[in-house]
């Protein structure tokens, strides 16, 4: 998008058709193209909305993107999209119709959870301008204003949570709607940064089932995000109702985890050959229940459309263990489904929010699997805006901060908002992951102010001993031993977790400040980190034992570098002992899970890390795989061994957070690590272990293609390595042998004891 797209719409007015909540109106303008200035040199359309729009010229969509303008912190950042429509306008026809369909999207979507039903405003609106440039330089501009007209479309209900209703009978006639101009803050207009949302492919149905109650069910074989599409002929007025869910329970559609979300699409037939495809909702599902289908439904009648942000796949992994391969596929599919314009917690129930804690721990994995530089930078700019406008400069627990919108009926300044570890640390940890992956100094500088706000908000909350003991904490959320109804009841002391996180964040903030030339800030954050480290050891560590003596606190203390010898060695040994005593079943939640395998493998316990990864009994990473999972679950036991759904209120089957172990798989099992930001220098350090005899890993890094393939059998280890030209790499073999190489293809061998 050009920098002038915002300027192009700066004089356009926001128009609304005044339709009711469910209706998708069509806003249109007849345009007579000038014939007095020679041929058309170029044409572009700039547009945005309060809501979600799809723009058309002469009935043809100007782009294949969906849910424009996406979800941002609308009060401060409203993205403007620009589309090159030269070919559509220069067809030679002197008359054309410029139009748009306008849905609720996230702006008026009754979004939230626990029946939050929050809207940004009561009315949605569309802003656009078409600019045609002729051969002689003359520009004809057509902005949105009161001269446009409105009419109803065939969409009579649209809701991200509840679904969409399409009445094909309305396609041949449409009721006119009055156009009105509504106000909006033009200072919020900002260029499009993140990738657009698009259709990413289709998934064929694999089985049609009959439920015990006689319902027709369709299994697509993969838990995905999007909708279904089909063509059908039937009597006018017949309703086909499609309900969506991720799992079956007792042979029926398992809808309880959806909570208040109806996740139901309704299609009303016209009597002709009708084609249906929703555009203003999305669902997380593997199974659908179809009611009202005329005749016998077959596998060829219906397809699922996969929808997410347009991200380029950059990381690939395959090994000799098919269950590990399935785990990786599950993590990839969960990222796809939850990277729909913002990084969400889940894509199916009445939530689908940008929870900061989830992406804080998952961002290293995310940046290996896909190029998320633009996607997460756009989200971080929203995080910064929300934090700058929050109480006490506190990072919200969700971004965009819809909860803040729900509090606008109260005196928001009176609401006590406190910073939270991990969730608030997303302001630091996500930029850290992006810095390691892409090495973009300019973007690090843009993200730095939010780091400052977060750390300042934490500094104000520290107790007299310099510990983060005050305020609400999620802690080691979803500890597998916590009861379903109390997901925060973890073994790990929340103050230990929070103080450890503060040390990590202050340490990276010091590094970021140094990189962007803020020397005084760097000194301040280094001093804070040093004070925090000392306070942590004084209060929480005694002879290598960390308060609350569980896997999570040892993992954090070791991985974040909080301990000196001999405490570090004792802590590592205690961690390994706890892991073994648990029978290699996972005993960590959100806080500890991303780091426990790292703490083991980097400190002489590679085999324990492998055993932990490949354990199949619940709770474990492989347990969902044994239960047929095709995405990562929110809980280790979202589905119980008997096939029933976990009774907890929060039971999603598509949450990427616990899939953060994939980062360890790529870097330790696969052996590809950034030795310098942006992979300007690479560390190749594969570490084999029991259960995997070979591994093949590739990564399209910021500097080019990196690929490893290793085999380990009967004490012989071989490694093949491909590097981009001119890129240096340090190679560390499992037996400790070290090599330095630059670019190209290399082969190594080693004898293992």
Q: Which residues are catalytic?
A: 351, 634
Rounded to 5 degrees, φ, ψ at 752 are -100, 140
Cα separation of 193 and 200, whole Å?
20
- Token pair in block for residue 361: 């721990």
**Alpha-carbon distance values, 170 to 11, 163, 268, 495 (Å):** 34, 18, 10, 59
Q: Which phi and psi angles does 442 have, rounded to 5°?
A: -65, -45
Helix (H, G, I), strand (E, B) or coil at 632: coil
Q: What's phi and psi for 432, nearest 5 deg? A: -65, -45
| Phi, then psi, of 197 in degrees rounded to 5 | -85, 135
Classify residue 205 as left (phi > 0), alpha (psi -120 to 50) or beta.
beta
Q: How many Cβ atoms sit within 10 Å of the Cβ of residue 238? A: 17
Task: Give SS3 for 732.
Answer: strand
Round to whole Å and give the CA distance between 116 and 401: 13
User: Is residue 376 a contact partner of residue 366, using CB atoms and an 8 Å limit?
Assistant: yes
Q: At what angle do helices 356-369 and 426-438 cross, to 10 degrees?
A: 10
C-beta of residue 743 within 8 angstroms of C-beta of residue 710 = no
Burial string for 350-364 (b: 16+ CB within 10 Å, else e) reads: bbbbbbbbbbbbbbb
d(CA 436, CA 681): 11
First-to-last CA distance in the chain?
A: 57
Rounded to 5°, the CA angle 513-519-520 comes to 105
Residue 604: helix, strand or coil by DSSP? coil
Q: Are 302 and 185 in contact (CB under 8 A)?
A: no
**Which tokens go with 385?**
């805006």
Lookup result for tokens 């809808």: 255
Query: Is the bond into 711 cis (omega within 30 degrees of 0)?
Result: no
Tokens of 357: 């804690």
Give the whole-angstrom CA distance, residue 476 versus residue 492.
6
User: Which helix (H) or strand (E) covers residue 339, if one does?
Assistant: strand 339-340
Half-sphere exposure of 11 (CA within 13 A, CB side): 7
Q: Are 519 and 513 in contact (CB under 8 A)?
A: yes
Distances (CA, A) of 33 to 41, 43, 92, 97, 265: 13, 11, 9, 10, 39
48 close to 78: Cβ distance less than 8 angstroms: yes
Helix axes 593-601, 356-369, angle to 10 degrees: 50
Name the strand (E) or helix (H) holding 7.
helix 5-8
Q: 716: which strand partners?
A: 713, 751
Whether 112 and 403 have beta carbons less than 8 Å apart is answered as: yes
To which residue do tokens 């396609």 refer?
Answer: 171
What would the DSSP string read from start to end of 417-450? ----TTTTTHHHHHHHHHHHHH--HHHHHHHHHH
Backbone angles phi and psi of 311, in degrees to 5? -110, 140
Backbone angles phi, psi at 660, to 5 degrees: -60, -15
């Amino acid at each position: 998008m050009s920098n002038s797209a915002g300027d192009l719409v700066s004089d356009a007015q926001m128009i609304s058709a005044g339709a009711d909540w469910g209706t998708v109106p069509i806003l249109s303008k007849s345009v007579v193209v000038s014939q007095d200035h020679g041929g058309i040199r170029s044409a572009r359309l700039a547009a945005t909305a309060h809501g979600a729009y799809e723009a058309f010229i002469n009935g043809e969509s100007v782009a294949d993107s969906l849910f424009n303008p996406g979800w941002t912190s609308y009060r401060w950042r409203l993205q403007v999209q620009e589309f090159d429509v030269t070919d559509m306008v220069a067809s030679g026809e002197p008359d054309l119709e410029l139009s748009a369909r306008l849905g609720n999207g996230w702006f008026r979507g009754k979004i939230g959870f626990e029946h939050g039903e929050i809207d940004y405003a009561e009315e949605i609106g569309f802003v656009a301008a078409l600019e045609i440039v002729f051969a002689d330089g003359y520009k004809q501009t057509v902005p949105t204003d009161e001269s446009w007209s409105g009419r109803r479309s065939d969409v009579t209900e649209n809701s991200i949570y509840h679904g969409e209703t399409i009445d094909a009978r309305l396609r041949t006639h449409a009721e006119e709607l009055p156009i009105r101009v509504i106000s909006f803050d033009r200072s919020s207009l900002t260029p499009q940064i993140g990738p657009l949302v698009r259709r990413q492919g289709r998934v064929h149905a694999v089985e049609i089932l009959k439920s015990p109650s006689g319902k027709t069910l369709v299994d697509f074989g993969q838990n995905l995000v999007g909708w279904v599409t089909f063509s059908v002929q039937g009597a006018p007025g017949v309703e086909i109702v499609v309900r969506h869910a991720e799992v079956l329970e007792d042979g029926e559609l398992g809808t309880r985890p959806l909570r208040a979300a109806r996740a139901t699409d309704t299609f009303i037939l016209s009597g002709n050959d009708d084609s249906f495809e929703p555009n203003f909702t999305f669902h997380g599902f593997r199974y659908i229940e179809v009611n009202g289908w005329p005749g016998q439904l077959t596998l060829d009648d219906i397809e699922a459309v996969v929808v997410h942000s347009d991200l380029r796949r950059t990381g690939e992994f395959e090994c000799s263990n098919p269950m590990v391969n399935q785990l990786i596929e599950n993590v990839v599919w969960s990222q796809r489904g939850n990277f729909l314009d913002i990084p969400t917690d889940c894509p199916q129930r009445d939530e689908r929010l940008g929870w900061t804690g989830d992406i804080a721990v998952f961002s290293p994995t995310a940046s290996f699997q896909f190029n998320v530089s633009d996607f997460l930078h756009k989200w971080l700019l929203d995080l910064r805006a929300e934090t700058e406008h929050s109480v006490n400069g506190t990072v919200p627990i969700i971004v965009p901060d819809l909860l803040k919108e729900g509090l606008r009926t109260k005196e928001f300044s009176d609401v006590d908002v406190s910073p939270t570890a991990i969730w608030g640390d997303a302001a630091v940890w996500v930029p850290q992951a992006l810095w390691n992956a892409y090495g973009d100094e300019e973007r690090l500088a843009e993200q730095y102010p939010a780091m400052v706000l977060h750390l300042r908000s934490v500094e104000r909350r520290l107790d007299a001993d310099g510990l983060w003991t005050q305020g609400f904490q999620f802690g080691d959320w979803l500890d597998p031993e916590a009861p379903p109804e109390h997901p925060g009841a973890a073994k790990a002391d929340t103050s230990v977790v929070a103080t450890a996180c503060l040390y990590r964040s202050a340490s990276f903030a010091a590094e970021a400040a140094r990189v962007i030339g803020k020397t005084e800030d760097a000194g301040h954050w280094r001093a804070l980190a040093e004070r925090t480290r000392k306070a942590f050891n004084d209060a929480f560590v005694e002879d290598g034992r960390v308060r609350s003596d569980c896997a999570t606190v040892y993992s954090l203390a070791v991985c974040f570098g909080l301990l000196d010898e001999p405490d570090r060695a004792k802590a590592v040994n205690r961690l390994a002992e706890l892991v073994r005593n648990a029978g290699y079943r996972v005993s960590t939640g959100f806080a500890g899970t991303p780091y426990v395998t790292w703490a083991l493998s980097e400190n002489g316990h590679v085999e324990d890390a492998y055993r932990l990864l490949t354990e199949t009994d619940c709770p474990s990473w492989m347990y969902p795989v044994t239960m047929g999972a095709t995405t990562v679950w929110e809980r280790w036991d979202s589905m119980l061994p008997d096939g029933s759904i976990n009774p907890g209120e929060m039971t999603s089957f598509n949450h990427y957070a616990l899939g953060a172990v994939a980062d360890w798989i790529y870097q330790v099992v696969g052996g590809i690590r950034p030795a310098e930001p942006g992979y300007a220098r690479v560390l190749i350090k594969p570490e084999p272990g029991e259960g995997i005899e070979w591994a093949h890993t590739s990564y399209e890094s910021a500097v080019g293609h990196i690929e490893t393939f290793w085999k380990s059998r009967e004490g012989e280890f071989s490694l093949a390595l491909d590097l981009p030209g001119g890129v240096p790499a340090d190679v560390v073999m499992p037996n400790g042998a070290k090599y330095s190489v630059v670019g190209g293809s290399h082969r190594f061998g080693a004898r293992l004891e």
